[in-house]
């Protein structure tokens, strides 16, 4: 342990840096960073990271679930030796800086994952811990033995996603997970007692955690608590009793420090009280800097030691996980004219990938047999690759973000498409990061049938297609499904597969090569009188309608559009060659379909929620059929 006086100086340096960053930006959250400064000093003496090899596989992972605490994140990264300069701290929250308002993966050196919506980071940390456990299982405990630290606050623990994630962590006894609860009893509206009176300690003990409590300002207590947490056989929650805005003069302990600058007068007096020159800004003494840099020096030494211990075979395994030979995958084949639901064909494809890609793993929110996501002969986590998330869609998505960002694995997760709403926040964060996570969303339309409106997605396609960096695939048949998967394997971004419950005929003219363009002509003609564009089960409706119109002497082009996102990435020339005349284009899709008006004059789609009844009867009832398509097409052709 460092000298106590030095530790106090280090903590106060952090406090002042964070407060000054927020003050200079005139925006941000000084309260939590100031309250956590002492704990951050002790964490610096326990965490193992190497800024010179920031992707070292066996590094400890640090997640700030309270992403608003970013001033502390950036201050620590700077002091630990990452590529975050003092000038970057001074540019906090400014356009184009390395130090945005909430930490962003890939944007700032040393940030492990993008956090923002409260509770996401807790579930991300569980994902990191699960990835670490599986990596340890296949690579060995001498190769993977790091910890996952997660700093969270009252807001994180009030969000339901944290309950879901921690329930799963306790179930799997993730002893590599250490949650650090900044228990300052303050949220934006004031004291937590206005909305929260539960016993957090008892809650986590009931979920299978070891719970340790400590004074957030006693260095000896903090150090001993970290030692106990690292030797626990359970996931650990450290309840650190802190004071928001610690040492913030008259604002210490006030909820006013949460999301606003301290103000020049309070900041100047606070600095003076802590022994800093109130006239100078961003002061870091050489003694303090050298003390924080011990984190880097220790990490460099540990990395070098680790490098000498892993064998060539282990290095080869790691390389194979990070760069799998996708050409070795033996995909299933699907015969034209056969009937197979895309959820079923997708299950066969997932299993084919798993046989050749050791880093491919995932599961479902208690719907594996229905989503067809179980990997055969692979066993269950932590010894196998089948992840059973339980009925926890909120946490499932965020856990997979952690698994994806771990650096070895391609995770997938699955549920019914209508429940994708529960996952929206984590899908959005994955899209911001461009993390390669796969979402398997089955039961894609009113074709769900008797379960009724509550289980029939009609607006979800529009929602997720509006999300940047997310590739949404709705294949027309098994062969298009296979082609979509092959494309998704090459994308450094999240992908969503929206799949049918009902059987779909394997069509004669789906073109796997052209699926990579997002949309293509199934039935081509020059100067069409009408263009019918469709996805999923509605492609068959478009083909049947085209035959009737052609018998009536009309020139008809039928376009399958499994991915609007891929189509938009093509040249304007290609897009115009496929959808050449908006005024004569009809989109057919059993969804709200508002996005289709970019390309189509009219949409044969859903104008209301669904209903309970047999799937085929519902398509007729709501007019998603040949009859309606012909009526619209004939008017266009007049």
Binding site annotation covers 29? Answer: yes
Buried-state track 501-536, b at ≥16 Cβ within 10 A, e below 16: bbebbbbebbeeebbbbbbbbbbeeeebbbbbbbbb
Binding site annotation covers 78? Answer: no
Binding site annotation covers 68? Answer: yes
Q: Which of 447, 452, 456, 449 is nearest to 416 (CA)?
A: 456
DSSP 283-351: ---HHHHHHHTHHHHHHHHHHHHHHHHS-HHHHHHHHHHHS--GGG-------TT-EE-HHHHHHHHHH
Binding site annotation covers 184? Answer: yes
Alpha-carbon distance of 124 to 73, in angstroms, equals 16
Omega of the bond prior to 382 within 30 degrees of 0, cis? Answer: yes
Strand partners, 441: 415, 498
Binding site annotation covers 155? Answer: yes
Binding site annotation covers 529? Answer: no
Q: What DSSP element (H or E) covers 568? A: helix 564-568
Q: Is 442 helix (H, G, I), strand (E, B) or coil?
A: strand
Q: What is the Cβ-side half-sphere exposure of residue 168, based on CA atoms within 13 angstroms?
A: 30
Alpha-carbon distance of 284 to 12, in angstroms, equals 10
Strand partners, 186: 191
Binding site annotation covers 482? Answer: no
Binding site annotation covers 625? Answer: no
Where in the sequence numbering do the catalytic residues fall?
Answer: 393
Alpha-carbon distance of 215 to 224, in angstroms, equals 11
Binding site annotation covers 241? Answer: no
The torsion region of residue 404 among left (phi > 0), alpha (psi -120 to 50) and beta comes to alpha
Instruction: Give the burial class of 196: count Cβ atoms within 10 A of its Cβ; 0-12 exposed, 13-18 middle, 19 or more buried.
Output: middle
Q: Is 462 helix (H, G, I), strand (E, B) or coil?
A: helix
Strand partners, 181: 152, 239
Binding site annotation covers 186? Answer: yes
Binding site annotation covers 576? Answer: no
Binding site annotation covers 59? Answer: no
Strand partners, 178: 149, 236
Strands (E), 76-119: none
Binding site annotation covers 117? Answer: yes
Binding site annotation covers 118? Answer: yes
Q: Is 241 helix (H, G, I), strand (E, B) or coil?
A: strand
Alpha-carbon distance of 291 to 312, in angstroms, equals 36
Binding site annotation covers 455? Answer: yes
Q: What DSSP element (H or E) covers 431? A: helix 424-433
Binding site annotation covers 465? Answer: no
Alpha-carbon distance of 536 to 616, in angstroms, equals 15
Binding site annotation covers 357? Answer: no
Annotated binding site: 29, 68, 116-118, 154-155, 184, 186, 258, 343, 370, 419, 443, 451, 455, 501
Annotated binding site for substrate: 29, 258, 343, 370, 443, 451, 455, 501
Annotated binding site for thiamine diphosphate: 68, 116-118, 155, 184, 258, 419
């Amino acid at each position: 342990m460092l000298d106590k006086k030095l530790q106090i100086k280090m903590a106060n340096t952090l406090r002042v840096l964070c407060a000054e960053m927020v003050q200079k930006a005139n925006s941000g959250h000084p309260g939590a960073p100031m309250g956590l400064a002492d704990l951050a000093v002790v964490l610096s003496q326990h965490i193992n990271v190497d800024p010179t090899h920031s992707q070292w596989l066996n590094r400890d992972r640090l997640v700030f679930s309270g992403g608003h605490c970013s001033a502390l994140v950036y201050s620590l990264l700077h002091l630990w030796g990452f590529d975050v300069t003092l000038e970057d701290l001074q540019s906090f929250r400014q356009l184009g800086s390395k130090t945005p308002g909430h930490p962003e993966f890939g944007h700032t050196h040393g940030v492990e994952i993008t956090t923002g919506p409260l509770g996401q980071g807790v579930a991300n940390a569980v994902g990191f811990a699960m990835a670490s456990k599986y990596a340890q299982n296949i690579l060995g405990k001498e190769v993977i033995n790091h910890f996952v630290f997660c700093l969270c606050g009252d807001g994180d623990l009030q969000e339901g996603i944290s309950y879901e994630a921690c329930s799963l962590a306790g179930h799997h006894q993730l002893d590599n997970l250490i949650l650090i609860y900044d228990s300052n009893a303050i949220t934006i509206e004031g004291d937590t007692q206005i909305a929260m009176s539960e016993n957090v300690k008892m809650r986590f003990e009931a979920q299978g955690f070891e719970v340790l409590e400590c004074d957030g300002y006693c260095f000896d207590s903090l150090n001993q608590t970290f030692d106990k947490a690292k030797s626990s056989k359970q996931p650990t929650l450290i309840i650190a009793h802190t004071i928001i805005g610690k040492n913030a003069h008259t604002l210490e302990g006030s909820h006013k420090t949460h999301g606003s600058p301290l103000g020049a007068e309070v900041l100047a007096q606070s600095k003076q009280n802590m022994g800093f020159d109130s006239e100078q800004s961003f002061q870091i003494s050489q003694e303090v800097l050298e003390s924080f840099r011990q984190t880097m020096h220790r990490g460099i030494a540990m990395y070098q030691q680790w490098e000498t211990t892993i064998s060539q075979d282990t290095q080869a395994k790691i390389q194979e996980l990070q760069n799998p030979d996708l050409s070795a995958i033996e995909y299933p084949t699907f015969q034209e004219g056969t009937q197979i639901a895309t959820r079923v064909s997708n299950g066969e494809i997932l299993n084919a990938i798993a046989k050749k890609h050791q880093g491919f793993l995932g599961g479902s929110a208690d719907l594996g047999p229905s989503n067809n996501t179980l990997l055969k002969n692979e066993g269950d986590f932590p010894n196998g690759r089948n992840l059973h998330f339980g009925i926890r869609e909120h946490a499932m998505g965020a856990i997979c973000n952690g698994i994806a960002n771990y650096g070895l694995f391609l995770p997938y997760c699955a549920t019914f498409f209508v429940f994708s709403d529960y996952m929206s926040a984590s899908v959005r964060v994955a899209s911001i990061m461009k993390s390669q996570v796969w979402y398997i969303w089955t039961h894609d339309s009113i074709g769900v049938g008797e379960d009724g409106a509550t289980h029939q997605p009609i607006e979800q396609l529009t929602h997720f297609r509006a999300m940047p960096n997310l590739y949404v695939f709705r294949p027309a048949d098994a062969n298009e499904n296979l082609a979509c998967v092959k494309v998704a394997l090459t994308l450094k971004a999240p992908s969503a597969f929206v799949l049918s419950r009902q059987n779909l005929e394997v069509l004669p003219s789906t073109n796997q090569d052209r699926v990579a363009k997002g949309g293509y002509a199934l039935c081509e003609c020059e100067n069409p009188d009408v263009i019918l564009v469709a996805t999923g089960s509605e492609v068959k409706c478009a083909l049947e309608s085209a035959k009737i119109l052609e018998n009536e002497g009309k020139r008809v082009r039928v376009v399958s559009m499994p991915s609007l996102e891929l189509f938009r990435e093509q040249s304007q020339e290609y897009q115009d060659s496929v959808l050449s005349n908006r005024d004569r284009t009809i989109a057919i899709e059993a969804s709200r379909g508002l996005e289709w008006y970019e390309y189509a004059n009219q949409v044969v789609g859903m104008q209301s929620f669904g209903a309970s009844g047999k799937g085929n009867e519902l398509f007729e009832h709501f007019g998603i059929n040949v009859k309606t398509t012909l009526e619209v097409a004939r008017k266009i052709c007049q």
